[in-house]
Structure 1
């Protein structure tokens, strides 16, 4: 591991000011991904600013939303009873996203900012990785592609965004609260992540030194049903080949409002706007579910190693819709 300076601060403004002024500095919270990347030589910060003592932990409920401090752990959020009752698919995604040990360490802010699980990005001996070395190429495009994306890809990168909980949060229109040198701002999670395009190394809209302080999770109307399904190679700790987070506000057999997002198939947590358009106001039946799945995967760009994901994602979404709607009709 590359030598670095370690600092621990207890004031949010001081932490933001320090990292903003130092291009070689990074924040450190749970560290469950960051430290692995440092050990592998992928990340080499000159200074780590430990933020675990900042007052950014806890969950506060208002009438319309849950306000989750960025340092709240995955396990703490999964155990929150109001969220469990109103938004079960958030809890399901948290529990399926990591082992108990990791959930007790990993923070919500850190989970949203986790780096790509691409084996080529995480291996510094591989020269062609536009995320790590802009302009160097993408080894994954001609390499082993199974765990990569089919939506939001480009000729410069096909790396997958692996967060589970980001999937239902994107479906819910969660809002990320950010603190920077210029003060606080709020960013809808649907606008927070950036597809790779020609700049895969720029993964989100955060500026250097900006810090996630809170995630605001809107609560859906009483009676809204939700579910998260994750398909993976093995039941134990593994990333998704395809996943779907669905929330349906039903009126008998008719869908008043649908919220749909996909994981395991996108370069960013993928909001399936097309699927929602098909479902809103439609009857909950097998034909409409399949039509929604077709719309959700419209524009997919599979490679030989990821071609199976297109149909797998469609079937995963149909199964999730059937489960939430009570089996359809």
Structure 2
């Protein structure tokens, strides 16, 4: 489980020099509670994976004794009433209709971000974002992308705080502690004048396209398992921001290993013929145990600047407005 190793590394970094974990909040679309309890919780309290009910009880006591606020947020439609828990970890379900201005998201809106927040007792924050749900598939059997970073600037902090405060306001659970205040936030380094990365999500005033695209963007490369029912129409939407966009290259997971998940059309055929659109198979070696390539990666290339983003959004109209880590790369 490479992602579990990365999470363990992020936790180790957050606890360097005697620091203690104070808060771990995770968001997901789909969730496997048994996976979380067996593999993720032990990392928080430095235990081996539990093997019997007594181990789970010990782990629960350690969480309480160490005063670690661990909680999960997932889409309301995913968590079933008969989901078994062996611990008392709080799981908050998100009803997207409860968001302010929820009508602009549409009836098909999902709570889709996969984000991990780590806070220690020195008021330092670490954030992770990517494509993996909190499931055994997401953390083991799928090919995913995920990245952890320490929060270093006020702008990054404010964006992350807005994201989680929005969830807190929707859940309306008095047991959820307030988010860290700006006055207490510790960047643990000299404040940088400009961020190397941005945390972008639906609740910001700017949409995803304004971050990943620019006026001089000429090429767009995307990894995505799912696609819009109208790929040409989506590309035309991109051109409203990037009129010089000439090339879109897509690396797609294939259903049953053979077929791209797209709705074929004459417009797609014409774009392929003009070299405006190209589909690629996964170029990486495939392990026979791999269930699917679930990674979502975006790269825009311009005359002056390239931009790179990973997160939870697919190459769809709905998928361009979800939480992500977005990194600027100057060339």
TM-score normalised by L of structure 1: 0.30
**Which structure exhibits the higher relative contact order, with contacts defined as CA atoms closer than 8 Å and separated by 6 or more residues?**
2
